[in-house]
Structure formats: structure tokens, C-alpha cells
Structure 1
Amino acid sequence: MPSTPSYLWELEDILGQGATAKVYKARNKKSGEEVAVKVFNNASYLRPFEVQMREFEMLGKLNHINIVKLFAVEETGSPKQKVLIMEYCASGSLLSVLEEPENGFGLSESEYLIVVQCVVAGMNHLRENGIVHRDIKPGNIMRLIGKYGRSIYKLTDFGAARQLQDDETFVSVYGTEEYLHPHIYERAVLKKPQQKVYGVTVDLWSIGVTFYHAACGSLPFMPYGGPRNNKEIMHKITAEKPPGTIAGVQQKENGPIEWICELPVTCRLSEGLKAQLEAILPNILEADQEKCWGFDQFFAETKNMLERMVIHVFSLPQARMHKIYIHHYNSVAIFTEIVAKQTGVAPERQTYFYEGHLYTIRPTLQVLHLSKTTEQYPFILIGCESEGPMGVTYKDPAFGFPRLLPSVDVSVDFSIAKNVVSAVYQTLRVTQLLLTCQEFLLRGSYWIIQNLKAECHRIVEKKSAVMSHYNCMCNTESRNTRLYNAAYKDFAIDKQDQGGCRKKLQLIRNTLSSCSHSLDKESMLQFSLLEVKKDQDHMRVDTSMDRMKHCLQKTQLIFQQFKKRRHLSRLSYNEEQIHKLDKINLVNLAKKVLTIFEEEIVQKYQAALSGHSSRMRTITEIQTHLGLMNGYLVACVKDLHSYEESVNNTVDKLAQRMQQTCLVQPNHSPASSYHVPAEQALTVRMHKLQDQMKSVSYELEKNNSIIERLNVS
């Protein structure tokens, strides 16, 4: 058992190895604390002494949570060899995380953001100390689980690191070929002589490849047969990558290269995060070091991305979930513009529900003050009816299922089995997306229908209030006509005033007749509501997902057996027979998962989309109808107010005419005494009219207050 004065380890406890060293899990002799010990091989001592000492010097300068800590430098063996005693990361590396079948199509969005945040923070610390790493890759990014269960990623392996400022260059070559900058690849892998010098941005290229790998579960640059089997094409892809592209794939031998500008649909990241990554990756995956971003811009852009908050929005017209990445200090107006870009619903047409209620948002409000959303409790966006719901965008999992070969090859079988289990995981994720979509379609529809039922009730009350107001005006019209006719007998009055009032009342009568047909849409809404509840009940008792998860558990167990056997040089007869049975069972389980997905999940999802489309047409029709009814009633109220003003004006004119007539009469003489009784009678009638108008005005005010409470205005 190798040891140093303070630590010891077993050769079987190897954590990793490279060209110049191996890393073992070791223990402190006194405390039992677990550490990682890096032991250098003979090849490492063939390097110049200053190169050998470089890693010790680099680690001695660094102290950051996202850099693996150096605890001590001790000696082991005879002759004495220096070893590094470092922080032990029990959860392996980012590469080991990506090699798990669950992450065959990339990391989850939450885990991916942690990776980006940790790598950026660690690299920022390196640049602050003027250090270039020169071997950034998933295998050199270790993972530790923090005390709150959150991953912490740490940069390690500084054997190739050296001091280098932004304006300095170097000529030596280091790194792992899949992650190498194309200029270094040409010299280090293809062995082509060149006089090029390299700057610190070579680390940015490696970071770009690492970020893509973590997002997609695969490398961005893939020649036919793999990067290590077709090195010339690998260099051609990386060196000739067009601006704006982030990946290049050769599907056939000697075939053309397919250039890719977007992250694949199989990627587990949301469209909101993808859009931001697709703005960063092309600028760090740039072979021309003059065009490549510098670290300052890289840090600024990634900080801009990482500092954004997420608002979850489910678009009912699209039948899709969205994650809106936005700064907390941005206004709601900016939020609605981003939503419009992703959903196609213009800001002025956007209406939101939150937890069953209409959610009013003010454009000037900061998004920080909006209610907190999650994937389970998002805003539900409603807006203008689209041509049809787009639904979830996904790639048919059937195309991702590889076939197991009949021959027995434990290494090949392990690789294929891993891909099969990855495809099963992906099928379950797509299934969950489809089920979640259905759930929110029903939830949003339920809320809209309930809101429309309440709106129907309000409209009926509005109509009742307007009819009451109208009947009051009809009574006023009758009394006004009698008084006006009586006044007309005694005074020369223009009858056009009375005719104008009658025309206004006739206009109101015509408007009310336009909405005289039934406002009762509750029966239609109640039927839709029953359908929604029925569908919700069916979803609660559906067992499709549970059956698929059961199949996944069995495939995982079989995969673990394949993982054990891959290290065996050969299988015994009985082991080989069991291995063959495991292959058959793995294939059958994968087929069962696909069958459930295609014959149950997809069919129910398509039916849900069709039902949602039909239901939304009905809802839109009712919304339009209620909008028209409300418009008619608002017009009636305005006309009634106008009529009321006309009646008041007419009464005022009558009163003024009466006063003018009385004023022009001289002191009563025998000749004029004949007219006095008539004038007195008219005065009495005018006082009665004024009293009646006060009564009418009180009734009008009462009806107006009812209508105002019902939001008719």
C-alpha cells in the first residue's frame, strides 16, 4: 500500500489517469479524511524541471470554491517522488455525469446552469491570476455535492497550466484532442509543422466544446466514424467552421459536412436558454483568434445570462411551455415583448391567469414584483386564437433506439445498452412533456370557462340594469310628451326639441333589440366544463407513465450487469447465455416502452390537442359574443345618458319660455285679467313637471350607480 508520511492509498482505488500521472483516493493516517493524491509517472520526470514544478506553483496561487484545493505536497517511494494531496470530489467528474444513461442527451437545465456558473467562476479566478489552463474538458471538471444537495463543479488538473496574460502567446501544445483548438490540433494530432503561436483564447474554444457537450450529451464536431478514427476530417470541420455555426457533423463516409447553428431538439434545455447559448457559442468556437471573443467579453456575456431570473409561462394558444429569461430590473413591458417573440401573441393581446384568477400586470412594473412562478405553477397565457396549437416540439424517440447485435461483444454491447437506456430516459422525458402539456391545457381551459361563466352572469345583470334604465326613460318620455303638448297649447314652442328626444329613444330601442336574443351561453360552457373535468379524471387514473417507469427500472438493472461484464476478458458458457437473455429482455423492454408511447401517449396527446382546438374555438366564439353584447349595452347606456340630457334641456327651455312670458305681461288690467288663470295653470304644470323631473333624475342616478358597479361604462 503506497503512502506518504501523512496519507496512504490502495492501487485499486484509482480515480483517473492521464499521460503523466494517476489519481488515487487516499486517506489521512490519523483522521481518516478522504483526499485525492496525484502520483506522477516516469514520463512526467522526462519533462524539463520548470515544467514539472509548474503545477505545484499554479495550485499554490489558487484559492477558489470552483478550483480543486491543494492541501499539501508530500513525497512517496524510493527514490522520493513528490505527490499532490488534493481535495477529494466524491461525485466524480462532469464526464462521468455525462456518461450516465440519464444524461445521454445532455444535462437538465438546472444542472447545466450550475455547470456554466461554476466553470465561468473558476475560469475568472484563473484569469485574475494570469493563468491559462490549456486542458479544459469534462474530465477535468470535478463534481462535489454541497451541504444543501446542490452540485459544485471544480476545475482540476493544472499539469498543462502556465502563467499567461491576455496579450501573451505560447508555442507548446497540450490538451485532449476532441477539445483542442484547431490550430493546436493541427500541430499536436496531425503532426504538421507550423510556426503559429497561441493565445489565451484557446481555453475559450475548449470551454465552448465542453458547454456544447454538457448541453447535448455529444460532441459538436463529429466526422463519420468518430473524431479519433477520422482525424483529417475532424480538423477540417473545426478549422473550416463557418461563422455563426456551433457544430458540424458528417453523416456518411466521404459525405458532406452538415453545419448546425442551433442546439438540437433533443437537448433538454428550454428555448429561452438555448437562444442565449446560441448567441455565445459561435463567438468562442471561433478558429480565428482575431475574431474570437476575449475573456472580458465572455465573462460579461455569461454573467448577463446567469444573472437573469426565469418566469414560467404556458401559452394556451400554442399549447407550449416557455421559460422567459429576463433581468429582475426589467419592466413588464420588456417581459411581454419577449413573450410575444416566443409565442406570437402581441403584447396588447396578452392576458394571463395565475392560480385560477385573471392576473393583471402593469407595463411599468418591474418583473421582480410579479408573482413567483415555477414549472408546476406558471402563468397561463391566453390571447388571440392561433391557427392551431403548435404543441410540444420533440423528436420521435423511435429514431434514437439503437439495435443490439446478435453476436456477443461485452464492450460493444455495453455501449449499445447504454444508448438504449438513454433512449428510454428520453422517451420518458418526452412523455412527461406531453402529459404536462395536457394538464395545463385542461387547467387553463377550466379557468377560462369559469371566468366566462362569471362574465355571462355579469352581462345578464348588465342587461337587466340597462332594461330598467330604459323602462324608466320610457315612462319619462310619456310624461314629457304630455307636458310638452300641454305647454305647446299655451306657448309657441318649436316641436323639433321633442322630436329629437323621441329619435334618441328610438335609437336606444333599436340598439336593445340588437341584443335581445338570448345571452344564456352557460349551457355551452357547462358542457365544455364537464368535458374538461372528465379529461382531468382520465389523466389522474392513467397508468401509462407508471408502466414506462417500471420498464426503465428493469432496463437499468440489465445495464448494470452489462457494466460489470465489460471488464471481463471472456464470458463462460453460462455467463454468455445469461448475457444473451439480458440482451433479449433489454430489447423487449425498450419495445414495450415505445409501444406505450406510440399507441397510448401520442394518441391521447393528439386527441387532447384536437379537443383543445375545438374547445378554444367555442370559447373564442363565446368571448366574441359577450364582447358584442357588452358593446351594445355600453352604447345603450351612453344613449340613455344622452337622452336624459335632452329631456333636461327640453324642460329647461319650457321653464325659460314660461318665465319670459310671465315677465313680459304688464300689471294686470281688466283687458289682461282673462289670461291670468291660464298662466297660473301653466305655472302649476311647470312646477309639477319640475317635481316629476326631480323624481326621474333620482331614478336615473340610482340606475346609473347600478350600471357603474357592473362596469358597463
Structure 2
Amino acid sequence: MELEPGHLVAGRFRVVRFLGEGAVSAVYEAVDDVRGQHVAVKLLHRELSQNTEIVQRFEREAEAASRIGSEHIVLVHGAGASPEGRFIVLEYLDGGTLADLLRKRRPLPVEEAASLVVQLLAGLSKAHALGIVHRDLKPANLFLVPGPQGGPFLKILDFGASKLTNAGQALTRTGAMVGTPMYMSPEQIRSSDKVDPRTDVYAAGVILYESVTGKVPFDVRNAVELAFRVVSQDPPPPETHLPSLDPELSAVIRRAMSRDPDARFQTAAEMHEALCAWLQKHGIPLPPETRAAPAAAPTVVPTATPRAAPAASRSVRLVVVIGLGALLLVAAVVLALYVGVG
């Protein structure tokens, strides 16, 4: 049930308006009555509050994002549970996603696309240094707000599918896939619980490919066929769609999207360095690492005692969680196709 303007979440966050919802949570603009600042409140859907894995993912999102400490990661003020349900309090962002931008105009100028992905990689580098792999990078999870020089400043959203690689904590069931197939690496399609930071590098490559060409690498709507192509085929080189693309930038994209993880940039920092070098070589200013106004320091939101079961919410993102049955179907189709080819 959508909360009305004026409703108090946890007796503290006064709802201003409904912003949007996804498969797992709903997001509201609100005012923190204690600090007097605008925030975004993300509420887990009530009907999902008994799903242990989804609740753990929801809590993981707050934990992961709050640990990273990069201005390119959405700031988490706190999290808790209340009669309205489980919630996360985030910084309020005024802007739109990269997906919104690409719907309005595509392709982007190559310098604009490269500058945005440089910012994405800066945030990822901080996450990876802490052993956090995002696993669901896509244009819809990249939010653009005004930067210090008026250009877009990128914020990474939604760490609900993230994995702590150095803590031995994987919330993915064996045989399940987590992510959005169009941006998933081959190894992530095979097994989402056995990935490392290079899977985020692959996704960054796909995002750069799409941004500069206006096309996705594999324009396939069937999830099984898409999974087969990602695992078994190299995408068309980006210059297929954009013949004027600089060969050096094309090489960066193709390396990031290599099907062999060992042939990719091994870290987000390494790809960040390569893209920065390309920008500087072409006389393009590097994007700022910080916004003009520093973000407020995180605060811990006290957890109210729920009246009944822990609550509900949805989310401004779409995370595709494909169960074991779907994975087996993909495997069967891939095997059949390989046999047919042989």
C-alpha cells in the first residue's frame, strides 16, 4: 500500500511523495524531522518480509553501500525496521538514471560516455578494495546528478545483489543467477556465487559499449538465447555500429568485455587508469571526484520495534534473480546448441 504524504516512517521520516517502485521495494522522498534534511526512504515490500534471502539482500544493500565511502556511491544514512516495514534511508538525489538519459538520446558523445564510465570505475575501485562486488551494474542503477561544473556526477545505486568476496558471505543459492543478463559476464551467467571484481569490469565495458554505440552488444530478447550468446560468442566490435570510433577506445571496450576474465582489465582501477589516459590524450578534462557540496555525514537510524512481522517495501531498481530452474534451462539449451554445432 502506497504511503500518503505526511506519513511518518519510524516516527521520524515524513513522506513528501512517492518516487517509484520495483520488484522488491518502494522509494519515497521524505524529510528527516530530526535533522531537517531531505532523504530517500526505501521500504521493503511487506509481502516479501518473510523471504529470508530477500530480507538479507535488502540488509546487505545498506551494509555494503555504507562501508565504501565514495562520493560515487549513494550515501546511506542508516537502516532499520518499523511498523511500516524494513527500510533504508538514503541521500536524496535529484536527477535521473543513465537509462533515462539513453532513452532520450543515444548514442552519447564518446567523451561524455567515457567520462561517465570513469566515474563509475572510481566508485567501483573503492568497493572492490573492500571486497565488495556489485553484480548488478546497468544504466538503471547509475544515477546522474548535477556536478560541480554543471556536468553530470555519477552515483552507483543498489548494492542489493552485491557479494562480499573477502568475507565468505554469499547470499546466492548454489545454481542461482543474480543480475541483469544483458550486463552479466559469462562467468556470472554460469554461477553468480563464483565471481570476483572482474565481473563488474565486464559490466562497465557493456555500459560503455552501449553508451557510445547506442546499441547493446547482443540485441536478443529471449533470456536463454541471450545467455548462450554471452557465454559462447564475442559481441560485434563497437566500431561495427560506430565506424568513426577511436581504435584505442574500442580496444578498451573490447578488453573489458573479453569472455576470458584473465584477458580483461584485472581491476576497476586498471580500467579507470586506461580510460583516464585516453581522455587526457584527447585533451578531455577528467571528471571531478567530488561534488561541489560535500555530502552529509552518515547517521545511524534507530530501529523501531515492528508491531508484527518485519515489514515491507519495494525499490527503484530492477534486479533479475533467475532461479535454479532457469539456470538448468539455460544449460540445457547451451548444451543442445553446442551438440548441434558439433
- Would you call these one fold, judging by a TM-score over 0.5? yes
1:6 lines up with 2:12 in the alignment: yes
Equivalents in 1 of 2:211, 2:260: separation in Å?
24
| Structure 2 CA distance for partners of 1:156 and 1:163, relative to 1, 3 Å | same
What does 1:204-223 correspond to in 2, within 5 Å?
A: 204-223=201-220
Using the alignment, how far apart are the partners of 2:161 and 2:121 within structure 1?
Answer: 19
Which of 240, 244, 264 is the matching residue for 2:241?
A: 264
User: Does 1:130 pair with 2:102?
Assistant: no
| Closer, same or farther: CA 164–44 of 1 in aligned 2, 3 Å | farther
Matching residue of 2:304: none
Q: C-alpha distance in 2, partners of 1:288/1:208?
A: 13
Give the Cα–Cα distance (whole angstroms) in 2 for the partners of residues 280 and 51 of structure 1.
32
- Structure 1 residues 518-557: Cα deviation after superposition (integer angstroms, max 9, x where no partner): xxxxxxxxxxxxxxxxxxxxxxxxxxxxxxxxxxxxxxxx
Partners of 1:261 and 1:143 in 2: CA distance: 24
Alignment coverage as a number of residue pairs: 273
Conserved? CA contact 1:71–1:86, under 8 Å: yes
8 Å contact from structure 2 (residues 237, 254) kept in 1: no
Letter in 2 for 1:59: A
> Cα distance 1:69–1:185, how it changes in 2: closer, same or farther (>3 A)?
same
Q: Does 1:200 align with 2:197?
A: yes
- Secondary structure of the residue aligned to 1:262 is helix
Contact 1:143–1:152 (Cα < 8 Å) also in 2: yes
Q: Indicate the residue corresponding to 2:305 in structure 1.
A: none
8 Å contact from structure 2 (residues 98, 140) kept in 1? yes
> Following TM superposition, by how much is the alpha carbon of 1:9 offset from its aligned partner in structure 2, in angstroms?
1.9
DSSP 3-state at the match of 1:148: coil
Cα contact 1:20–1:44 (8 A) shared by 2: no
State the alpha-carbon separation in 2 of the partners of residues 309 and 283 from structure 1. 20
Asked which structure has the greater CA Rg, the reply is 1
Q: Do the aligned residues in 1 keep the contact of 2:215 with 2:241 (CA within 8 Å)?
A: no
Query: Relative to structure 1, is the Cα distance of residues 285 and 110 closer, same or farther in structure 2, using a 3 angstrom cutoff?
Result: closer
Q: Cα offset for 1:167?
A: 12
Q: Which amino acid aligns with 1:282?
A: R
Map of 1:448 onto structure 2:
none
For 2:49 and 2:136, locate their aligned partners in 1 and report how far apart those are by CA, in whole Å.
Answer: 16
Partner of 2:181: 177
Residues 167 and 216 (structure 1), Cα distance of their counterparts in 2 relative to 1, 3 Å cut? farther
As a proportion of its length, which structure holds more helix?
1
Could you say what secondary structure the match of 1:99 adopts? helix
TM-score between both structures, scaled by the size of structure 2: 0.70
DSSP-derived class of the 2:41 partner? strand
- The structure with the largest strand share of the pair is 2
Q: Relative to structure 1, is the Cα distance of residues 45 and 175 closer, same or farther in structure 2, using a 3 angstrom cutoff?
A: farther
Looking at structure 1, the residues matched to 79 and 168 of structure 2 have their Cα atoms a distance apart, in angstroms, of: 32
CA RMSD of aligned residues (A): 3.1
Conservation of the 8 A alpha-carbon contact between 2:102 and 2:108: yes
CA distance in 2, matches of 1:148, 1:307: 18
The 8 Å contact of residues 132 and 162 in structure 1, kept in 2 or not, is answered as yes
Whether the 8 Å CA contact 1:168–1:199 is kept in 2: the answer is no
Instruction: Provide the C-alpha distance between the structure 2 equivalents of 1:142 and 1:261, rounded to a whole number of angstroms.
Output: 24
* Superimposed CA distance per residue, residues 230-256 of structure 1 (whole angstroms, 9 cap, x where no aligned partner): 2333223212224xxxx3xxxxxxxxx
Equivalent residue letter for 1:264: H
Higher relative contact order (CA 8 A, sep 6+): 2
> How do 1:493-512 and structure 2 match up within 5 A?
none
Distance in 2 between residues matched to 1:177 and 1:202, nearest whole Å = 12
> Relative to structure 1, is the Cα distance of residues 31 and 54 closer, same or farther in structure 2, using a 3 angstrom cutoff?
closer
**Is contact 1:180–1:205 with CA below 8 Å preserved after alignment?**
yes
The whole-number CA distance in structure 1 between the counterparts of 2:115 and 2:157 is 17
The aligned runs of 1:105-184 (5 Å cut-off) are: 105-165=106-166, 173-184=177-188
Amino acid paired to 2:271: F
Shift of 1:135: 0.7
In the alignment, structure 1 residue 275 sits paired with structure 2 residue 281: no
Distance 1:51 1:185 in 2: 19
Residue aligned with 2:15, SS:
strand
* CA apart distance, 1:45: 4.2
Q: 4+ residue runs of structure 1 moved beyond 6 angstroms?
A: 166-170
The 5 A counterparts of 1:431-446 are none
* Partner SS for 1:287: coil
- In structure 2, relative to structure 1, the CA distance for the partners of 1:280 and 1:165 (3 Å cut) is farther
Which residue does the alignment assign to 1:302? 275
* Alignment of structure 1 residues 240-255 onto 2, 5 Å: 240-242=232-234, 247=235
* Equivalent position of 2:224 in the other structure: 232
* Counterparts in 2 of 1:290 and 1:30: CA distance versus 1, 3 Å: closer
